[in-house]
Structure 1
Amino acid sequence: MIDGHTFAQAAQTDPQPDISILSGVALVLFLACLGGAIKAVHLRGSTVKRLRDDVDLAFEGLTERVFQSLRVLRDAIVEILPHDDVTFDPLALIMDPSRVEQPAATSVRLLRERHHIRKQYRHLLNICSLLKYSTSIMTLLIATTTAAYYLAFQHAMFWRFSLVLTAVCAAVTLFAYLAYAHLETRIQAGIEDANPVEDFTEGNTS
C-alpha cells in the first residue's frame, strides 16, 4: 500500500514541463509565424503587381540590347578579318583578342539574362505559393507542439514528433525565403541591364 509520503515523492520525480521559459518562446514564435503567414498569403499578388510589367519590359529591352551587342561583335569581327585580296594569317588575328572579347562576353551575358528572366519570374511565383503553405503549416505546428507539450507531456513521442515536423517546416520556409531573395535579386539585375543607368545619363546630357 502506497502512503501519502511515497505518492508525493513519486509525483515530484515525474517530469514536468518548464512553463516559465517555453511559454514566452512559444508565444513569440507563434506570433511571428502568424504574421509571416498573413503576409505570405498576399505575397504572390503583390509580387505579380510589382514585377509583371517590369519583367515584360525587361525582356523586350534585353532583346534590343542583345541585337545591339551582336552588331558590335559582328563589326569587331569584320574589322579584324582581312580583305579578300589579302592572305589569311590566323596568327595575326589571335594576337589581340581584346577587340572581340568584351563584345562577346556582353552578348553572352545579355542572352542568358533574356533567356532566364521569365523563367526566374515563374519560379518566384511558385516560391510565393510555397511560402504561403509552409508558413501556415508551421504556425499550426507550433500551436500543436506547444499544446501537446503542456497537455500531454508524459507522451513525449507525440510532442517530440511534432517538434521535428516544426523544425523541418521551418527549414523549408527558410530555404524558400532565401530562394525568393536570390531570384528577386537576379530579376532586378536583368531589369537594370535591360535599361541601364548609362542610357539615362546619355539621354539627360543630349
Structure 2
Amino acid sequence: MAAVWASISLRSSTDQRLRARVDMAFVALEERAREAFEKLRDDIDRLYPTSGPFDPATAFQDPAELGQAAKKGVATLRMRSGIQARFRRMLAVCSWIRNGAFAVATLVGAATALYFLAFDIKPLWGIAAGMAVVAFGASLVGIFLFAWLESAIQRAVEASNAGGAP
C-alpha cells in the first residue's frame, strides 16, 4: 500500500522537481553547442585562411585537431536533443509505475481473496497470483527505467553546467 500511495504523486512531483532544470539545461546545452561550433569555425579559419594568395604550405596542415572540437559540438547537440525526450519518457514511466502499483495491489488482493474464498478452484486464484507477479515484474522494469532516465537527465544537467558534453 505504501508503494501505491507513493506512486500516486510520482509524476507530478517529478515534473515539479525536474521541469525547470531540464528547460535550463536544454538552453545551456544549446549555447554550449553554439560556442563549440563557433570555436570550430574560428579554428578552421585559422588553419585554412581564405584571404590572400594560395600558400602551398597551408594546404598540407593536419586537420586532426578539428575533429575533437567537431565531436564535442555534435555530442553536446545530441545531449541537448535527448534531454527533453528523456524527460517526456520519464513522465510516461511515472504513469507506468503508478498503474503497475495499482495493478499489483489489486491483483494481490484478488488472489488472496480467491485463495481463501475459492480454494477449490486453484486455477482461478493461481491465475490471479501469476498476473500479480507479472505486474510486479513490469513495475520493477519501470522503476529501473525511471532510475536510468533520471541518471541520464542528471548527466545532461551536469554537462550543461560544466560546459558541454563529456
TM-score of the superposed pair, with normalisation by structure 2: 0.88
Equivalent residue of 1:195, what SS? Answer: helix
Question: Distance in 1 between the 2:59 and 2:7 partners?
Answer: 60
Alignment of 1:57-206 (within 5 A): 57-81=24-48, 83=50, 85-86=53-54, 92-93=60-61, 95=62, 97=64, 99-196=65-162
- 5+ residue gaps, structure 2: none
How far 1:64 moved relative to its partner? Answer: 0.8
- TM-score by length of structure 1 reads 0.72
User: Partner amino acid for 1:125?
Assistant: L
Q: Tell me the matched-pair count.
A: 163
Could you tell me whether the CA contact under 8 Å between 1:145 and 1:163 is conserved in 2? yes
Question: Residue type matched to 1:92 in 2?
Answer: F
Percent sequence identity over matched residues?
29
**How far apart are the structure 2 equivalents of 1:136 and 1:89?**
72
- Pairwise CA distance, 1:91: 7.9
**CA RMSD, Structure 1 to Structure 2 (Å):** 2.2
Query: Which amino acid letter does the alignment assign opposite residue 153 of structure 1?
Result: F
Query: Is there any run of 5+ residues in structure 1 with no aligned partner, and where?
Result: 1-33, 199-206
